Amino acid sequence: MRSVTINRKTKETDISLSLNLDGTGKSNINTGCGFLNHMLTLFASHGRFDLDVTCIGDIDVDFHHSAEDIGICLGQAFEKALGDKKGITRYGSFILPMDETLILTAADISGRCCLCYDLDIPTQKIGSFDTELVEEFFYAFVRNCQMSLHIRKLDGKNSHHIVEGAFKSVARTLKAAVAINPETKDEIPSTKGVL
């Protein structure tokens, strides 16, 4: 079973995160931010990942440190749960429609970190959540998971739909990328022999 628990404590956040890549989409999320709870719950459900997150953060300042540090922990959890990456599909992509919004995502679990982020979000906030933190979250995730991730808005006007579409699409992309390919289950999916 590809599962791991990450604990990370700084002067700004205290996080416990458990991830099972081969789960059923169950989650228990408490980040101190309602909107981020919602996004991570959707991420777990659409990726079929079991995900528990507890974060005590300095939310009296804002949600920046919590969002970034949860992204760090989630990236570390994916990296550790994937191990040597033997047998994984490696690549994934998805185009997700949500009402007027259309989001394209693609990933390569390559061992190299690259985020290509093109979400034009019309509002600066969704509730009390700063929308600029979406990019911070995904950048922290990619940097710690060592993967390439493209997130692009093809259409959309509603900020909530755009961000929700991105989290759902990334989840479905990662579900495909981390899946074990039965035809190559004993192989590293790279001509280099390592990822």
Contact 174, 107 (CB under 8 A): yes
Mean pLDDT throughout 181-190? 89
Token output for 180? 């074990």
The pLDDT tens digits of the residues spanning 23-59 come to: 999 999 999 999 999 999 999 999 999 999 999 999 9
For the question of whether the overall pTM of this predicted structure is more than 0.85, the answer is yes
Q: Does a structural domain hold residue 29?
A: yes
Q: Does a structural domain hold residue 25?
A: yes
Q: Any idea which residue has 């981020």 for tokens?
A: 36
Contact 152, 103 (CB under 8 A): yes
Mean pLDDT throughout 165-179? 98
Q: What is the CATH number of the domain that holds 60?
A: 3.30.230.40
Mean pLDDT throughout 135-142? 98
Q: How many domains does the chain have?
A: 1
Q: Which domain holds residue 11?
A: 3-184
Q: Does a structural domain hold residue 15?
A: yes
| Contacting residues for 61 by C-beta, under 8 A, at least 6 apart | none
Query: Which residue from 98, 115, 107 is spatially nearest to 161, judged by alpha carbons?
Result: 98
Q: Does a structural domain hold residue 189?
A: no
